[in-house]
Amino acid sequence: MELTAELRQQLLKFQRTEITEYHIYNRLAQSIRSPQNQQVLKQIADEELKHYETFKSYTRQDVEPDRLRVNFYYLISRIFGFTFGIKLMERGEEKSRANYLQVGGEIEELAVLASEEDAHEEALIEMLDEESLRYAGSIVLGLNDALVELTGALAGYTLALQNTRLIALTGLITGIAAALSMAASEYLSTRSEDTDKNPLKASLYTGAAYILTVAVLILPYLLFPNYYLCLFLALTAAVVIIAVFNYYISVARDEPFRQRFLEMAGVSLGVALFSFGLGYVIRTFLGVDV
């Protein structure tokens, strides 16, 4: 069929997207150990290549992949896990499917491609079996408890002690003790449940998430002398951690971001505000002067 200049440019754009995603899926398949995940990714890569060839039959032109995009999603997948990287890319494919349908009136075959894109996503959801996501509940437990408990504790210590070094020391002791306690509780809890999760791994994920959060929240008190500034930075860091983690979960597990973020941030900051007031009351009534 004779293509208009506008339609030809749009098809070339689709063609480049398909060959780019072929290289992404193919490269990820080569880097994943699970044979089942490898097989599904290779199958999807082959389908992306077939889509590319379909567009090429209309444009009669070869197109180079977007190497920057290939490297970006491969790097994201290596750092944050292939589940997150693929899901993030799939969100972009939703726009492609909509665009295919827009020009489907002129080229009927594009409607078939759009339906195949939907099948891609379903296949990906079925194949996802990544350890970090299986233990996401343990990570959430460690993060949530550390954020709620330590932001509250630091807010109370800040007004009660008014000494950054002393606040950091007290917060560090509190945080490490709480991390060990949470890890032990998660171990016993997982061991008593009928689950395929390893109790030791679950406890390590919980403890590591707790310790990492403690380190980030305590850091301002080791770097700056103004304890109010340190508290502000610690609370800001808490909100950033909540936002980043909830965005990760919302992409990797197709869960709503806004509701989870507002709930988690509201609880952490609410406890911090209450503890800050409690620190003021205790300091005033006990007459403590550090």
Of 5-19, 62-76, 97-111, which range is least confident? Answer: 97-111
Give the whole-angstrom CA distance, residue 255 versus residue 246: 9
Is the pLDDT at 220 greater than 80, yes or no?
A: yes
pLDDT the model gives residue 182: 84
162: containing domain: 132-286
What is the total count of domains within the chain?
2
Which of 96, 129, 162 is the C-terminal boundary of a domain? 129
pLDDT the model gives residue 224: 93
The DSSP secondary structure of 113-148, one letter per residue, reads HHHHHHHHHHHHHHH---HHHHTHHHHHHHHHHHHH
Which of 129, 153, 168 is the C-terminal boundary of a domain? 129
pLDDT the model gives residue 107: 65
Global pTM reads 0.71
Tens of pLDDT, residue by residue over 135-173, are 777 777 778 778 888 888 888 888 778 889 999 999 899
Same domain for 227 and 173: yes
What does the buried/exposed string (b/e) look like for 174-205 if buried means 16 or more CB atoms within 10 Å of the residue's CB? bbeebbeebbeebbebbeeeeeebbbebbbbb
Same domain for 180 and 237: yes
Is the pLDDT at 34 greater than 90, yes or no?
A: no
Tens of pLDDT, residue by residue over 234-269, are 989 988 888 888 888 788 777 778 887 888 788 877
Give the whole-angstrom CA distance, residue 132 versus residue 227: 36
Q: Which is nearest to 246 in space by CA: 232, 234, 262, 235?
A: 262
Q: Cα-Cα-Cα-Cα dihedral of 246, 37, 125, 131, to 10°? A: -30
3-state secondary structure of 220: helix
Q: How many CA atoms lie within 13 A of 68 on its CB side?
A: 0
Same domain for 114 and 21: yes
Same domain for 175 and 92: no
